[in-house]
């Protein structure tokens, strides 16, 4: 165990984590150059295109250190985005150390800070690394100071590296060996292995990534899941180099995978402890909290006969994404669909994109919403995750909305603008701290304001410099109302929203006028009204238009005519017929454009 080091990389998006991980793999000879297809750790297609690491993966590296000894370095990849902070914490709890990679031309960002604090809380050794020192704009000295000021760890000796040009790679690996402690644990004790991650593989079923804390695990061992008491036969163990390689055993201190013929991801819960049926551990390792859906949206097929296909696709996605929840939902306007729960907005976007790209679904997505706690006058308490399901205000005692604590790091020049934005979004300032050139603002904010478009606004008011991290704090009573949109006198349930009373009239007006822009003119006048209860607060009219595409055909060219009809049909995609009006996808998300 002396020669094992388990570590993660904490980095803000784009600071170079994947590039660095690839360098490690290359340096340690895990893959030939030919196999190093761009960035190997980010294995999913979408990840490669967006450049975001989604699913934690791992690589076991063999490194010959300067002391002549060979060390086994286990790199556990962590996702960098705020939606996936829960995955970060579980990756970190399998490690003794973490490299904090900071872009030397940018500096420390909010998510990095949050992840570092998580690491320090878990007792993980944090080792700073300055990346991108090849850039002319790099300011390693300033960034070192920033790390010391903001995170509070010693950074003067931080390795200066460039993942891109390959500078400092060996120095980093050497620091890993020297600064990060070797794992402790009892190889002779009863097995205790923590499930760090699990996913579904089409060929072998569920694969579990585990950190063995005590004991040894071998194929043919009968394993016991401590939370469910389920038993399975261990079929295969191994490590990722990052290719999968079978091993004869996984010992205390090691990180590797287990395959045990499990068909459902639900049975291999991340955070659960594995032990052996024959020699069980007396207690489980400290578990994780389950990832809870924070953001909800309705997903509806454009063509109603695609409903079954959508359900199949969601089921398949769920095999690989235990954080995705869904249940059937019926909307008067949109028909049969699903209400889905996500970790955050990025998670929603990724799911939506995978459904469209990998499963070829045409979807209508309703505006994202948070979950509300509603206390009824008769004392009953319900959770509302779909605005159109909010009971009549007359029957409601109290509505409580989720509040988050957000941490924003922003250069001093933009503090004023960011504070104004936070106030607009009903934020309550909790703290403000100058840290070198940056300021750390802490605000309590209603989550429903944040799921709208807070992040984009934050970026635009700070020219992209501000960074945000948030966590759920509590539910708080709030003066909320339901805003409905009526199209030609009919309420469109999928367009209902829950908003704060203070902004409801303004938002209603803005929304109605946005609808006028977004809903295409049709053969008749369309009235769009925004209402709160029985009050109409805004009205817009979409004037009729006689749209006759065939008029352009000048006479009889039939192929031309067909083409035009074809084109018109394609243009209809992502439109939903609601009553006699066609409403495009964009209209369902119009609220995101209303501040």
d(CA 402, CA 114): 20
Backbone region of residue 261 per phi and psi (left: phi > 0; alpha: psi in -120 to 50; beta: other values): left
Please give the size of the binding site for ligand GTP, defined by CB under 6 A.
20
Complex with ligand GTP: residue 52 or 206, whichever CB lies closer = 52
Rounded Cα distance, 327 and 523, in Å: 36
Binder of ligand GTP out of 56, 76, 150, 163 (CB under 6 A): 163
> Does the annotation list 535 as a binding residue?
no
Answer for which of 5, 55, 90, 132 binds ligand GTP (CB under 6 A) is 132
Q: From CA 17, how far away is CA 129, in angstroms rounded?
A: 11
Under rule CB under 6 A, which residues in 40-59 are in contact with ligand GTP? 42, 51-53
**Residue 104 makes contact with ligand GTP by CB under 6 A:** no
Residue 135 within binding range of ligand GTP, rule CB under 6 A: yes
318 binds ligand GTP (CB under 6 A): no
Toward ligand GTP, which CB reaches closer, 17 or 211? 17
Helix, strand and coil percent figures for the chain, each rounded to 5: 30, 35, 35
Does 17 appear as a known binding residue? yes
Nearest distance from residue 194's CB to ligand GTP, in Å? 24
134 annotated as belonging to a binding site for a ligand: yes
In angstroms, rounded to a whole number, what is the distance separating the alpha carbons of residues 257 and 535?
Answer: 60
Asked if 78 interacts with ligand GTP (CB under 6 A), we say no
Contact 97, 125 (CB under 8 A): yes
- The CA distance from 95 to 169, in Å, is 20
Is 111 a binder of ligand GTP (CB under 6 A)? no
What's the Cα-to-Cα distance from 375 to each of 293, 340, 369, 395, 534, rounded to whole Å?
21, 23, 19, 9, 22
DSSP state letter for 451? I
Contact flag: residue 106 with ligand GTP (CB under 6 A): no
Span from 162-170, 234-242, 440-448, 519-527 in contact with ligand GTP (CB under 6 A): 162-170
Q: What are the tokens at 287?
A: 């578990």
With a CB cutoff of 8 Å and minimum separation 6, the contacts of 87 are 55, 56, 78, 79, 197, 291
Q: Which residues pair with 169 in a beta bridge?
A: none
Beta carbon nearer to ligand GTP, 119 or 370: 119
Q: Where do we find the tokens 């008011």?
A: 461
CB of 134: closest distance to ligand GTP in angstroms?
A: 5
Structure tokens at 269: 């819960």
Does 398 participate in binding ligand GTP (rule CB under 6 A)?
no
Touching ligand GTP, residues 8-37 (CB under 6 A): 11, 13-19
Q: Is 133 annotated as a binding residue?
A: yes
Residue 131 marked ligand-binding: yes
Shortest reach from residue 398's CB to ligand GTP, in Å: 41
Stretch that binds ligand GTP, among 61-69, 159-167, 248-256, 563-571 (CB under 6 A): 159-167
168 is in an annotated binding site: no
The C-alpha atoms of residue 211 and residue 118 are separated, in whole angstroms, by: 18
> Which residue positions form the known binding site?
14-19, 131-134
Residues that bind ligand GTP (CB under 6 A): 11, 13-19, 42, 51-53, 80, 131-132, 134-135, 162-164
> Which residue positions form the known binding site for GTP?
14-19, 131-134
């Amino acid at each position: 165990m002396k020669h094992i080091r388990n570590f993660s990389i904490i980095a803000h998006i784009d600071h170079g984590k994947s590039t660095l991980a690839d360098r490690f793999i290359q340096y340690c000879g895990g893959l030939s150059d030919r196999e190093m297809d761009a960035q190997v750790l980010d294995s999913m297609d979408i990840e490669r295109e967006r450049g975001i690491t989604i699913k934690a993966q791992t690589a076991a590296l063999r490194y010959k250190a300067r002391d002549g000894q060979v060390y086994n370095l286990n790199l556990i990849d962590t996702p960098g985005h705020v939606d996936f902070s829960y995955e970060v914490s579980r990756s970190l709890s399998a490690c003794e150390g973490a490299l904090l990679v900071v872009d030397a031309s940018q500096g420390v960002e909010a998510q990095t800070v949050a992840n570092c604090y998580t690491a320090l809380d878990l007792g993980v050794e944090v080792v700073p690394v300055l990346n991108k020192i090849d850039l002319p704009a790099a300011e390693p000295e300033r960034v070192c100071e920033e790390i010391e000021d903001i995170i509070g760890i010693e950074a003067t000796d931080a390795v200066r590296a460039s993942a891109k040009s390959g500078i400092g790679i060996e120095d980093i690996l050497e620091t890993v060996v020297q600064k990060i402690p070797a794992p402790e644990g009892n190889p002779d004790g009863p097995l205790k292995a923590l499930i760090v991650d699990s996913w579904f593989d089409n060929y072998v079923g569920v694969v579990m990534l585990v950190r063995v804390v005590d004991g040894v695990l071998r194929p043919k061992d009968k394993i016991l899941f401590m939370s469910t008491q389920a038993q399975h036969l261990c079929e295969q163990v191994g490590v990722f180099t990052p290719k999968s390689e079978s091993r004869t055993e996984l010992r205390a201190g090691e990180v590797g995978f287990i395959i045990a013929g499990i068909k459902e991801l639900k049975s291999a819960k991340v955070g659960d402890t594995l032990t052996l049926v024959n020699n069980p551990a007396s207690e489980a390792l400290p578990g994780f909290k389950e990832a809870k859906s924070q953001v909800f949206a309705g997903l509806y097929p454009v063509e109603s006969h695609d409903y079954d296909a959508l359900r199949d696709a969601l089921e398949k996605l769920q095999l690989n994404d235990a954080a995705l929840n869904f249940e059937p939902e019926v909307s008067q306007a949109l028909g049969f669909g699903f209400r889905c729960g996500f970790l955050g907005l990025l998670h929603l976007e990724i799911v939506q994109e995978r459904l469209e790209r990998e499963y070829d679904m045409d979807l209508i997505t309703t505006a994202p919403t948070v979950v509300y706690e509603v206390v009824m006058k008769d004392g009953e308490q319900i959770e509302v995750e779909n605005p159109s399901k909010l009971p009549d205000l007359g029957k409601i005692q109290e509505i409580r909305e989720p509040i988050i604590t957000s941490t924003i790091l922003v250069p001093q020049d933009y503090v004023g603008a960011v504070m104004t934005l936070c106030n607009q979004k009903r934020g309550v300032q909790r703290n403000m701290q100058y840290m070198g050139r940056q300021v750390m603002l802490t605000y309590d904010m209603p989550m429903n304001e944040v799921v709208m478009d807070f992040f984009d606004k934050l970026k635009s008011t700070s020219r992209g410099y501000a960074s945000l991290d948030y966590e759920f704090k509590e539910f708080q009573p709030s003066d909320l109302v339901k805003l409905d949109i009526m199209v030609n006198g009919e309420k469109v349930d999928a367009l209902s929203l829950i908003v704060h009373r203070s902004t409801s009239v303004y938002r209603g007006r803005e929304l109605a006028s946005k609808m006028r822009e977004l809903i295409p003119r049709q053969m008749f006048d369309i009235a769009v009204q925004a209402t709160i209860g029985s009050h109409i607060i805004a009205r817009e009219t979409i004037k009729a238009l006689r749209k006759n595409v065939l008029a352009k055909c000048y006479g009889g060219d039939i192929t031309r005519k067909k083409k035009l009809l074809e084109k018109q049909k394609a243009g209809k995609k992502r439109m939903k017929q609601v009553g006699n009006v066609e409403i495009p996808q964009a209209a369902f998300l119009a609220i995101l454009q209303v501040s």
